[in-house]
Structure 1
């Protein structure tokens, strides 16, 4: 009989304002040190500002932004015969959404603007127009996967 502890999957509650699972995941990725209310304020402020600037629906806007950044492939390193190979493989929708959200937030933190709200708004607008750092990150991974397409038959 196995004595290994079984972990229950954490159920994420939809966000308060819009009732969307996607928005609640975004808020959880923004959150630092368990301060969810601050993360919610930042997210809702930026969403409202972007909706006013671009005159679009908030949910459709975030969907478009995330679809621009979502990677198709993930690259993992594998050592075969003393050489390290970058092996590309397709990833599922949930994992690609996770990468997209994390890249947007990380690249927003790197921007040279005052306050995270302004950085986040700038990054979201740039991703909407396909000229942000997160889009470049996605393109670089796509380029690496195209170069190493020959190694895709190796299993990880």
Structure 2
């Protein structure tokens, strides 16, 4: 008798350690989203520089600022496309906190690259400050998704 062995690789979940300077899991996740090509020290320098500038400009606690910024950018819904009967529908559904944090961090990093300031550090600072005051590209992205989910609320009963 032969046993059916799965050929699928089993991956271990990577445990993310807290960041060195503040000891925060949230900050280490943000640094990982900034990081390119495995260059974590450069990403840390960029992140800590931007946090220091923000705390100086807004005169508030850095952890409180990042929490508030991420809370402003976090989406409530996610939209997935589904083809039903030859028609494509945008189906909105609620997402959990971890996934919404992921979207918020990705949008902030992505939209800061589009900005006009010189250097990524300054672009990130500008995007974070604008997100704090609710007028950044990331906030507009969130509002677009909210608008689409309101329009397609009737399709929310479809399974994905």
* Same fold flag (TM > 0.5): yes
Find the counterpart in structure 2 of residue 122 from structure 1.
126
Offset of 1:7 from its aligned partner? 1.4
What runs of 5+ residues in structure 1 fail to find an aligned partner?
none
What runs of 5+ residues in structure 2 fail to find an aligned partner?
none
Q: 1:147 aligns with which of 144, 151, 156?
A: 151
Moved over 3 A (4+): none
Q: Alignment length, in residue pairs? A: 156
**Alignment RMSD (CA, Å):** 0.7
Offset of 1:103 from its aligned partner? 0.3
Offset of 1:43 from its aligned partner? 0.2
Look up the SS of the partner of 2:93 in the other structure: strand
TM-score by length of 1: 0.98
| Alignment partners' CA distance in 2, 1:52 and 1:114 | 19
Find the counterpart in structure 2 of residue 16 from structure 1.
20
TM-score by length of 2: 0.96
Offset of 1:5 from its aligned partner? 2.4
Find the counterpart in structure 2 of residue 84 from structure 1.
88
Look up the SS of the partner of 1:76 in the other structure: strand
| Alignment partners' CA distance in 2, 1:49 and 1:79 | 47
Q: 1:33 aligns with which of 24, 28, 37?
A: 37
Find the counterpart in structure 2 of residue 109 from structure 1.
113
